[in-house]
Every structure is written in structure tokens, then in C-alpha cells.
Amino acid sequence: MNLTVHPAPPLHGAVRVPGDKSITHRALLLGAVAEGSTRIRGYLDSGDCRATMGCVASLGVAVERENDGDGGLVVHGRGLHGLRTPSRPLDCVRSGTTMRLLAGLLAGQRFASILVGDAQLCRRPMDRVVTPLRRMGARIAGVGGHRPPLTVTGSALHGVEHALPVASAQVKACLLLAAIYAEGETVIAEPGPSRDHTERMLRARGVGVESTGLRHALCGPVPRIAALDVAVPGDFSSAAYWIVAAALVPGSALLIRDVNVNPTRTGLLDALEAMGAHIERLDPRDEGGEPVADLLVRTSPLRAVEVGGDLVPRMIDEFPILALAATQAEGVTRVWDAAELRVKETDRVATITAVLTALGARVVPRADGFDVEGPTPLRGAAVDSHGDHRLAMTAAIGGLVARGETTVLGAGCIPDSYPGFAETLHALVPGALP
Ligand code: S3P
């Protein structure tokens, strides 16, 4: 599937983005092992989250869609020891979060399971979860060099202290889920602040996770997890496309409603504000243990920014769209400390360079980041998504500010994280799509 985009007139009005992907995955997994039913309102019905739903169902957990208008999901939890032996491999499709979090949850079960995925997922490294889980006593193996598929044979686990070499919420969540079943204390030390949804959600369900700075401790085994309904806020990583669109398309003033503004997620706001972007947080509030706000974005001239250190994990999924913003900013934007980008859905240093260069931008890739020189007038082109949803959406937003027509080739991956992206684009910019 291709998506063709034309230059946009000013963006006005209000948009809502779908529910947060990370919170939806966690609500499903914690709901599966909770005692009682969990209702998840505003869940993200994306390809990645459907993979988690499918795996949870294969583990014997009933997941029902409600038909009452606001379309919730109900997960009928089976308790910490109630999951069933899956009769076939658990298909994580293209979702790294599904595979890594499930590996942790399954390590302490009393049965064996196999975690499989598609070709894109099979290229992604799993040693970051395999190595610490083995230290906890897990019996887990991947294919040469710890790539998927993973076989996990449930075993008795014990707590360890593990220092993550790279900040990763997926690894932290994997180990916290294993720690629930482990004897003794598990301590996870992060080198930087990754998203903290797991810690928040575990605490809200009665599981003691003690966080002191970047160290997180959980004492297991946990006797039970309480069921707790979830209202999933809008995904900041999806809002990011409209934030940058409104910042770049001249004369725009766009309101993005109900966005999760957890500070472990909003590094892009810090970077854009340092670039001179006009972003107001309206009506800040707490919803179900997560900070939420409406964001009002107005176009403004941008200057280059430097992004490294702790800012990187706080905006790890936003580098493609940041790089697009940088093409329109005065000066050289430099990104470093971001080698992690090379092991996302694609090698994002390479794909950011390829996509933006195709639109006429000046991007220089480096081992742990890239430089973007701006401002550069972009020209429409046929641009390959490389099967990466975030690159596909970045190219589409690029098309709003490029001269001529932009065609995103392979846009069928967008619903991995953002079902309804093209429809929202169409509603917002009726002339932008043919
Ligand atoms: C996620 C964590 C991030 C992010 C991914 C979702 C999560 O990965 O890139 O899209 O839900 O925990 P890392 O924490 O491994 O960087």
C-alpha cells in the first residue's frame, strides 16, 4: 500500500491520537496474570498490540472486545499461576515489545513456550533479555547469537542485580515481570531514564517496586496482582507527527488532545522547545496514574539543536520525526549517544538518512547518530518506508512541507503503531491526500 501526500495549507482545529502502545501492551500482560477482570478503555488496536492480544489469548486468557461505543477490551485475568501451556508458538509478529516483555513473564511459568516473529523481528537482538534472564535462572535460548525465535522453558527464578548497558524500557519491563516470580530481590540499574509505565502500573496493582533514581528493586515472589481498570491516554509517540507537522506547516495552530506527557516520553518536546517551537501544555491532569495534557502547537522558526545523553531514551522513537524538523531548522542538528537507533524496527540511522535524503535533505549518518543541516527546501519524491511505521509517517509529514507530490511506498506498516493515521491526515488536510 502506498500513501500519496501533497503540500498542506495551515493546519487548524483539533486532533486526538490513538491510545498509548506501551501502556496497552502492559495492560494486556498485567491483566492476563491479575486476579479478576481488567477493562482497558482507549486501548490501541494496532498491529503490535494485536500481537500481544493474540499471545495472551494463546496462553488461555479470554480477551473480549466490548461493543458499547467507547470500545473497551476486557481481559479475564487468570492469576499469576493460571496461564495455560500454549498449543502452538506465540506469534509476536513485528513487535519487539511483545517478545521481550513476554520472555520475562514466561520465564517463571511452569511450562515451555516458543516465541516467534516475522523476518523484521527475527533480525532484532534478544541477548539483552536472554543474558539477564539466564542469570535469574531462566532456561531461554534463541537462534545463533540470541535472535528470535526464543524458546522459554519455565523454571525457578532468583533475584539478581543487573546493570543495563543501554537504557531500555523493554528490558527493564522484561526483568520486572520475571522478578514477580523470582525468589529474593531483583535490582535493575539503568544508565538513563527509560519510560516508566511498568513501574507505575505494577505499583498501582499492589506490587512494591522501589525506585531510587535509576535503580529499581522488586522483591519476589509476588503473591498476587490486583486487577485494575485502565484508561489509556493518547500516545505521545503518535502525537509527535502532528506536533512536528504544526510546527513546520506555515501558519498552523493545532490542538492535540489527551496526550500522555509522562516526562520519560516527552524528550521531543524538550528538543523542539530548544529549537524555538511554540508548544503549550493545556489542562495538565493526572489520568490513571499518568500525566496527560492537551498540546497546542503553533508554527515558528526553528534553529538547530544538539541531542545526546539522557534526552535520547526519553525520545527514542521520535528521532525520525525530529530529523524531519531539523531539515527545516537553521544550522546543524547533531544527534549522538543514539546507537540504539540501529536496532529498532530498522536501522534507523540508515533509514532516516535514506528517507530524508530522498526528499532532498542533507543528512550525514554516524555510528551513534546523525547530523542534519538545515534549512533545506524539501522536494516531493517516491520514498520507501523500509517497512518501518515511524519512517513511513515521517515521510508522509515531510510530504506536507515538500514541493510537489510525495508517495510513501510501503505505507501498509503504519498501523503497526498508528491505525487511522491516513484518515486523520485526510481529515486535517483535506487537500493533502488525493
Ligand atoms: C518500548 C520501549 C522502547 C521503544 C518501543 C516501546 C516499550 O524500546 O522503542 O517502541 O514499550 O517498552 P527500548 O526501551 O528497548 O528502547
- pLDDT per position as a tens digit, 110-131: 999 999 999 999 999 999 999 9
Residues 360, 215 share a domain? no
Residues 253 and 112 both lie in one domain: no
Is there a single domain that holds both residue 204 and residue 237? Answer: no
Q: Enter the C-alpha cell of residue 157.
A: 527464578
Does the CB atom of residue 170 touch ligand 1 within 6 A? yes
CA–CA distance, 305 with 312 (Å, rounded to integer): 13
pLDDT at 431 (0 to 100): 61
Residues 13 and 33 grouped into a single domain: no
Query: For residues 182 and 136, is the Cβ–Cβ distance under 8 A?
Result: yes
Q: Which residues of the chain have pLDDT under 50?
A: none
Establish whether residue 417 lines the binding site of ligand 1, counting it when its CB lies within 6 angstroms of any ligand atom.
no
Q: What is the dihedral of CA 364, 366, 368, 370, to 10 degrees?
A: -10
Look at residues 192, 224, 256 and tell me which one is the last residue of a structural domain. 224
Say if ligand 1 is within 6 A of residue 173 CB: yes
Does residue 26 share a domain with residue 12?
no
Looking at residue 144, its pLDDT comes to 80
Query: In terms of domains, do 169 and 306 share one?
Result: no
Quote the domain boundaries for residue 54. Answer: 21-224
> At 300, which CATH number?
3.65.10.10
Statement to judge: residues 111 and 207 lie in one domain: yes
pLDDT of residue 70: 67
**Exactly one of 20, 91, 196, 317 is catalytic; which is it?**
317
Instruction: Establish if 434 belongs to a structural domain.
Output: no
Cα separation, 81 vs 83, in Å, equals 6
At 67 the pLDDT is 78
Burial class of residue 115 (count of CB atoms within 10 Å of its CB; 0-12, 13-18, 19+): buried
Decide if 317 is catalytic.
yes
Please measure the distance between the N-terminal and C-terminal CA atoms of the chain and give it in whole angstroms. 14
- Indicate which atom in ligand 1 lies nearest the CA of residue 313: 16
**22: number of Cβ within 10 Å:** 29
| The pLDDT value given to residue 221 | 98
One domain, residues 220 and 238 = no
Task: Tally Cβ neighbours within 10 Å of residue 156.
Answer: 13
Same domain, 75 and 158: yes
pTM > 0.75: yes or no: yes
How far, in Å, is the centroid of ligand 1 from the Cα of 339? 14
pLDDT at residue 237 in the model? 98
Confidence at residue 404, expressed as pLDDT on a 0 to 100 scale: 97
433 domain-assigned: no
159 and 107 assigned to the same domain? yes
Tell me what pLDDT residue 69 has: 62
Domain boundary among the residues 224, 250, 273 is at 224
- Report the domain count for the chain: 2
Assess whether 123 and 257 both reside in one domain.
no
What is the per-residue pLDDT across 324-348, written as a single tens digit (0 to 9) for each?
999 999 999 999 999 999 999 999 9
Mutate which of 170, 175, 176, 266 for ligand 1 pocket (most atoms within 8 A of beta carbon): 170
191 and 298 both lie in a single domain: no
Task: Please work out whether the CB of residue 194 comes within 6 Å of at least one atom of ligand 1.
Answer: yes
**Of 142, 133, 163, nearest to 92 (Cα)?**
142
